[in-house]
Amino acid sequence: MASSVVALPADNLIHVFWDEGMLKHDTGRGVFDTGMDPGFLDVLEKHPENSDRVKNMCSILKRGPISPFITWHQGRPAQVSELLSFHTQEYVNELIEADRNGGKELCGGTFLNPGSWDSTLLAAGSTLSAMKHIIDGQGKIAYALVRPPGHHAQPTQADGYCFLNNAGLAVQLALDGGCRKVVVLDIDVHYGNGTAEGFYRSDKVLTISLHMNHGSWGPSHPQGGTIDELGEGEGFGYNLNIPLPNGTGDKGYGYAMQHLVVPAIEKFEPDMMVLVVGQDSSAFDPNGRQCLTMEGYREIGRTIRGMADKYSNGRLLIVQEGGYHVTYSAYCLHATLEGVLDVSEPLLSDPIAYYPEDDSFPTKIIETIKKYHKEAVPFLKDA
């Protein structure tokens, strides 16, 4: 059910970068994300990272109550040369060769099929265009509605449905374009290991990831997402992992935002903000075990908008990642962007939100992480 439209300032718009060519990435069917047909199931489900999820995200922005505050921009494919700001030539060559040979499963559940490479280039290029739109002063808030996702892709390898690191490429573009310091806040349910790896030795990028405490899942994802993975060299202390216990919901995420994320951003003082958003942290996602509802996403959006207004002159890039419940992911995206717009009242009510939440255990974990950060992270010692 939609609420009445709230009046917002005329310049309070979200610039969405999108291209339908990204729907051509066909991830197939099978047992969850394996592509396997065991032979005894009459109905094989679509791979969780399928085009339906993004179709609904697109349509809710075009026809939902937030639509008056959305302006649409045509995406574009990235040039191969642009990919080398984050990825190695050898890895890019591997992807090109896999496409030329008709496709390849690069790691578990991560299928480069015919048409996938074109979609991957569109995702990267559209994200770069969204960041350039902000850098060039054409808009302050841009959202790259892209697939395949990217935050697990490391400089040298694919991982977790991701081939190219869309957010990482955009961050490097911002740095090359004159930004001094960039914050990347990743709220996908899985650790944004690829983005962290790309800037692990940099003190110019503060990567913060709130994720389910899932650990490493194999050679393609060697990082554990643990609190002691803080960065290396000049980057030590500028990778902050916030692994949250299963079942953390709106209150737990809100507590983490106020007691861990906000103080870190305030100390870092970025001049560009990037929100890496995945709706797989929701209470109803098949690929996560957290319990965020629309209101939790709305509050995260509102908080990050406040930080952008305070430190980066309102400049904020939002990059789409996971979110696999075909309906609820779209609703949670809508709520996130409502928060970013800082609407006074929700524009869209939550159709399935009620979920009991005990935030006592997550709060204890967050306090433990806070204590560790104060002791181990140099720039947070007096936060």
Q: For 195-232, what is each residue's pLDDT tens digit?
A: 999 999 999 999 999 999 999 999 999 999 999 999 99
Average pLDDT estimate for 356-365: 92
pLDDT above 70 coverage of the chain, percent: 97
Contact in structure between 154 and 194 (CB atoms under 8 Å): yes
d(CA 132, CA 152): 23
Most distant pair of Cα atoms in the chain: their distance: 60
CA-to-CA distance for 274 and 147, rounded, in angstroms? Answer: 17
pLDDT digits (tens, 9 = 90+) for 33-86: 999 999 999 999 999 999 999 999 999 999 999 999 999 999 999 999 999 999
pLDDT at residue 354, as a whole number = 75
Q: CB of 1 within 8 A of CB of 349? A: yes
The pLDDT of residue 38: 98
Per-residue pLDDT of 253-288, as tens digits, reads 999 999 999 999 999 999 999 999 999 999 999 999
Position 11 pLDDT exceeds 90: no
Tell me which residue of 291, 278, 274, 294 sits closest to 64, measured CA to CA. 294
pLDDT for position 7: 57
Query: Does 8 have pLDDT greater than 90?
Result: no
CA gap 24, 289 in Å, rounded = 29
- Strands of 33-97 (E only): list them: 45-46, 70-74
CA–CA gap between residue 335 and residue 72 (Å, rounded): 18
**pLDDT of residue 340 exceeding 80:** yes
Q: If we measure between CA atoms, which residue out of 270, 272, 274, 276 comes closest to residue 317?
A: 274
**For 14-349, which CATH superfamily applies?**
Histone deacetylase domain (3.40.800.20)
Average pLDDT over residues 173-193: 98
Who contacts 234 (Cβ-Cβ below 8 Å, separation ≥6)?
201, 202, 203
pLDDT per position as a tens digit, 133-155:
999 999 999 999 999 999 999 99
Domain ranges of the chain: 14-349
Q: Residue 1's pLDDT is what? A: 52
The two three-digit tokens of residue 203, written as one number: 């003190």
Q: In the chain, what percentage of residues exceed pLDDT 90?
A: 94
Give catalytic residue positions.
152
